[in-house]
A and B are shown apart, each in its own frame.
Chain A
Amino acid sequence: GAGVSQSPSNKVTEKGKDVELRCDPISGHTALYWYRQRLGQGLEFLIYFQGNSAPDKSGLPSDRFSAERTGESVSTLTIQRTQQEDSAVYLCASSPARGRDQPQHFGDGTRLSIL
């Protein structure tokens, strides 16, 4: 496929469980972003990866949240000990290179529901 792929598309889990969300960026895209979108709200920046540079983790809301990326490929966002306030759509985006004019290409998101 040519687009950003996220899995699973939907995830329902119990409070306290750990969840792992996956993002496959567009091939060749060096930048990768994770966002959280709560119901009826805008996009909240979580973390940004650029090539082999140290990631910008400034948006992660707590130490329960972590993310990894292997080179310029797949990324996983992990939420430990989930809470009900973690319920949201988690969006991943990638962009091709450095440069302020490069738009982001988004996946369709993972809809996470914490019971």
Chain B
Amino acid sequence: AQSVTQLGSHVSVSEGALVLLRCNYSSSVPPYLFWYVQYPNKGLQLLLKYTSAATLVKGINGFEAEFKKSETSFHLTKPSAHMSDAAEYFCAVREGGYQKVTFGTGTKLQVIP
């Protein structure tokens, strides 16, 4: 069965500092992995996805994530936080030929000016 664990329900960084949001997954087959962002009162928006083509994936808004099979991780990073990055971030995994997606519990990112 597939599952996702996001470490840290809340993360605070200073504006301009590195953003690191952690995601570990469990999957019985090679997974497809996604990061989504949710702004207040909005639905989720895709940031990036891992589809086995490359282990380092670049997404929108300057975010990127690296797939590490040995660590079963897919952490999200951004070199320099911007105030507009304050939002909630969700990691998600999909396995098999099935379309069901399992989401993590989310990490709220606060950016301090």
Q: How many residues of chain B get a CB closer than 8 Å to chain A's CBs?
A: 24
| Chain A residues with CB under 8 A of B103 | 35, 42-43, 45
B97 touches A108 (CB 8 A): no
If A31-B99, A42-B90 touch, whether A103 touches B42 (CB-CB below 8 Å) is no
If A43-B90, A100-B94, A101-B32 touch, whether A95 touches B43 (CB-CB below 8 Å) is no
| Chain B residues with CB under 8 A of A111 | 41
**Is A91 part of the contact surface with B, judged by Cβ < 8 Å?**
yes
CA of A56 to CA of B43, assembled, Å: 22
Size category, A interface? 20 to 34
Kindly identify which residue among A31, A48, A98, A109 contacts B97, using a CB–CB cutoff of 8 Å.
A98
If A42-B106, A100-B95 touch, whether A48 touches B46 (CB-CB below 8 Å) is no
CA of A98 to CA of B96, assembled, Å: 11
**Is A41 part of the contact surface with B, judged by Cβ < 8 Å?**
yes
CA of A91 to CA of B51, assembled, Å: 24
Contact with A along B93-110 (1 / 0, CB 8 A): 011110111111110000
B43 touches A106 (CB 8 A): yes
Q: Within residues 39 to 74 of chain B, which ones have a CB less than 8 A from any CB in chain A? A: 41-46, 49, 51
If A42-B105, A103-B49 touch, whether A48 touches B99 (CB-CB below 8 Å) is yes
B contact residues vs A (CB 8 Å cutoff): 32, 34, 36, 41-46, 49, 51, 90, 94-97, 99-106
A contact residues vs B (CB 8 Å cutoff): 4, 31, 33, 35, 41-43, 45, 48, 50, 56, 91, 93, 95, 98, 100-109, 111
